[in-house]
Every structure is written in structure tokens, then in C-alpha cells.
Amino acid sequence: MIGRLNHVAIAVEDLEAATKTYRDTLGGHVTEPVDEPDHGVTVVFVNLPNTKIELLAPLGENSPIAKFLEKNPNGGIHHVCYEVDDIIAARDQMKAAGARVLGDGEPKIGAHGKPVLFLHPKDFCGTLTELEQA
């Protein structure tokens, strides 16, 4: 059911430093930062030929990545995102298989303006997993 790898998200404390690393050291094309107050993060994308890297920094008091950065002060891979054709069908299949969908189970509009869901890391090899309707 899962399709293309849409992005790998890396949480960082310092978005400017991370941008420099990806732009100047790795030679990637890094977009301008965008604040996502609904998601508690500021995001830049590194557009690669076959996928994207999403660099996430905390925004506001109750950022969902604050705890992660406490445990991983140097930053780290936060989640992976796979594309699906139909997010509701995908959700129902996950639930039927016994996997936990985070939040209220209803898709939210993600960083790319498309519906997304997050799946519990304990059910997916220790990795927070996002599904995005492509």
C-alpha cells in the first residue's frame, strides 16, 4: 500500500545552523523557513531529486518536537513519511491491523497542504511514521 518516500524529517534545535549544513556543506537546495503554528514547528525543505529532507525546529511553547530534542540535543531523525493514494483507506487498514493512529485519528493538513496521519512508533520499528495522501 505505501508508495514513494515523501520525506525524512530531521528535528534540530538551530534551524539556521542546520540550513548551513545542508546548503553549504552538503550542497543541497534549502527553501526559506516557514512557520507552522498549527504544528508547533518551523520548517525548511531540502529538495532532492528523489525525495525531500524536512528540517524541523520547535516553534512556540508546546512544540511536539521539544521532548524529542531534549532526548536528542544534537537533533535526529524524527519521522519518515510515505505517500498513500487514499488516507482514509490507509487509516482503516492500519487500525484493522492493530496499529495505533495518533491523535483523534482524523487526518490533518500537513506541511505540504495535504492530508496526513501519524502512526505510533512502537508499532513501526521504533520510527514515528507519517502517511500523506499524495
Scanning 23-31, 64-72, 93-101, 126-134 for contacts with Co ion by CB under 5 A, the matching segment is 126-134
Query: Toward Co ion, which CB reaches closer, 19 or 132?
Result: 132
**132 a catalytic residue:** no
Please tell me which residue in 54, 83, 130, 132 is annotated as part of the active site: 130
Please tell me the number of Cα atoms within 13 Å of 9 on its side-chain side: 23
Q: Tell me if 59 contacts Co ion by CB under 5 A.
A: no
CB 109 within 8 A of CB 115: yes
52: left (phi over 0), alpha (psi -120 to 50) or beta: beta
Please, are residues 23 and 1 in contact by the beta-carbon 8 Å criterion?
A: no
Our finding on whether 9 is near Co ion (CB under 5 A) is yes
**Span 75-104, contacts to Co ion by CB under 5 A:** 81
Please tell me whether residue 41 binds Co ion under the rule CB under 5 A.
no
The rounded radius of gyration (Å) of the Cα atoms in the chain is 15
Q: Is 130 in the site for Co ion (CB under 5 A)?
A: yes
List active site positions.
Answer: 130
* Residue ranges in contact with Co ion by CB under 5 A: 9, 81, 130
